[in-house]
Amino acid sequence: MGAAKRHLDRFKIASKIGQARLQGMFTSSRLAPGSIISESTGSPRDQFHLLELHRKYGDIFTTWSAGKLTTCIVGHELGLRFLTEKKAKLRAATIDMTPIFPEGFLRAMEGTTHVDYRRMFLAAFRAISLEGRSSEFRAILHGRLTELTTGEGRLRSQTAAQILKQASTALMLQLILGAKDGSKIAGELTDAYNAYAPNGMHIVITPTERAKYERIKGLVLNLADDLKGSESPPSSLLEYMVRFQTLDDTVVGNLIHMTEFARYDFHGLWRWILLETAGEENYLNAIADEPDARRREVMAKSAVSETLRMQQSEFILRTAIMPIIFEGFLIPRRSRVRICIWEAHRDANKFLDPDVFKPDRFVDKKFSSASYAPLGLDHHRCLGAGWTLQLSGLLVEELAENFSVKLLNYGTVSRGHFHYEPGPDSQISLTARR
């Protein structure tokens, strides 16, 4: 099987390079320099693979990634200029949701369709305030973290992943769909989501996944019916849409998948926060001892920002729908473009000691998007960016004030379904403060 895959990869690579050369003849251009070899050849690529290629070939280089010919661009200013100048020739490289709802997922939309739906969802996010709800959210986080302290004191990566996924699911169901933690509908939705996407979304939507999606949709529409007629300020995106917007199939589909992507990404980020802050006991103690609530919040969010810089925020992917010439290099039609966020965040000219976790670097300093852009660069920037910092900051405050966390083994970073994640050999100690 391994030999057959290597032969298939070599055939695909040779075919794509041949097509690129043909396109190059018509455009008087060539591919950016780089390393175009099968991923099934040689040792597995680690987290630093593209960073090494960047150092060797420069800010624009070509590689073979996830079975695609890929042009990599390192540097936020360069990446944003590319995304802006070549916008009409690009499409978001994401899962096609149109088989299950009409316009697909928001991040894949373009043109006026994207403008209209993004405006609608942006209004919804702005309408749902997290102010005054800290105790509500921290209770969810506290309960799940407490579950992690019931073992032998040594917490393994996969155990943390399971419980943190429960926490992120509970919060997203509450904030996006209005299903209160512990309620019957929240339990039903959790079961339905775990059946639909147990480890992140499927790349291709099959009839089996469509049937599971319809189960979630039915539960969400029942929730929507219950929310009609309320006069209090909306507490979830679904409630806002029911009362002030049009709840069409595309809106419902986006709400459902925002919940799925968010619960997956949040728990992934929180795994990294748990591991990275475990090695920063003094910083957590400083948060716990800080008497000023505003300063305490800033310190907690800084730990989140540094975790986003070091981990999780990896790339922006686009597909070229026609040949593109950028900085003199050819980006062939149907190839991928990867804006390398993670690699740019390791730039020593922008961040002192870039490979060292230093949360206090964000406490009294703000970085422009030219240096720091963990949640997107262009018109597809994450709408929930504020939630990411606020909710994850609450997690850090909860850890600092009510738990003692210590690093036992950082472990080897491993490649997950969509992101790099703490390896199965990573291990911390988590106990309740007395």
Sheet holding 155-156, edge to edge: 155-156, 427-432, 403-409
> 104: phi > 0 → left, psi -120 to 50 → alpha, else beta; which?
left
Closest CA to 314 of 361, 373, 366: 373
Q: Rounded to the nearest 5°, which phi and psi values hold at 200?
A: 90, 160
Which pairing describes strands 30-31 and 427-432: parallel, antiparallel, or unpaired? unpaired
- CATH assignment of the domain containing 348: 1.10.630.10
CA-to-CA separations, 64 to 37, 143, 159, 326, in angstroms, rounded: 6, 44, 34, 19
- What's the full length of the chain, in residues? 434
For residues 28, 34, 40, 46, the Cα torsion angle rounded to the nearest 10 degrees is: -150
Whether the CB-CB separation of 70 and 63 falls below 8 Å is answered with yes
Whether the CB-CB separation of 41 and 9 falls below 8 Å is answered with yes
Full pLDDT tens readout for the chain, 434 residues: 466 666 677 778 888 888 888 887 888 889 999 988 877 666 678 899 999 999 999 999 999 988 899 999 999 999 999 999 999 999 988 889 999 999 999 988 989 999 999 999 999 999 999 988 999 999 999 999 999 987 666 788 888 999 999 999 999 999 999 999 999 999 999 999 999 999 888 888 889 999 999 999 999 999 999 888 777 889 999 999 999 888 999 999 999 999 999 999 999 999 999 999 999 999 999 999 999 999 999 999 999 999 999 998 899 999 999 999 999 999 999 999 999 999 999 999 999 999 999 999 999 889 998 999 998 887 778 888 999 999 999 999 999 999 999 999 999 999 888 889 999 999 999 999 87
Whether the CB-CB separation of 19 and 332 falls below 8 Å is answered with yes
Range of the domain at 12: 2-432
Residue-level pLDDT at 1: 47
CA–CA dist 174, 186 (Å, integer): 8
Residue-level pLDDT at 379: 75
Residue-level pLDDT at 22: 82
CA–CA dist 344, 121 (Å, integer): 29
Sheet holding 329-331, edge to edge: 30-31, 329-331, 324-326
- The beta-carbon contacts of 67-70 under 8 Å, at least 24 apart in sequence, are 67/9, 67/12, 67/39, 68/335, 68/336, 69/13, 69/16, 69/17, 69/20, 69/36, 69/332, 69/335, 69/336, 70/335, 70/336, 70/337, 70/338
Residue-level pLDDT at 227: 82
Which pairing describes strands 60-65 and 34-35: parallel, antiparallel, or unpaired? parallel
One-letter amino acid at 270 equals W
Token pair belonging to 257:
């998948």
Could you count the other beta carbons within 10 Å of the beta carbon of residue 28? 9
Q: Rounded to the nearest 5°, which phi and psi values hold at 373?
A: -150, 70
Q: Is 375 helix (H, G, I), strand (E, B) or coil?
A: coil
CA–CA dist 406, 303 (Å, integer): 16
Residue-level pLDDT at 5: 67
CA–CA dist 430, 423 (Å, integer): 17
| Start-to-end CA span in the chain (Å) | 55
Token pair belonging to 11:
């055939």
Structural domains of the chain, count? 1
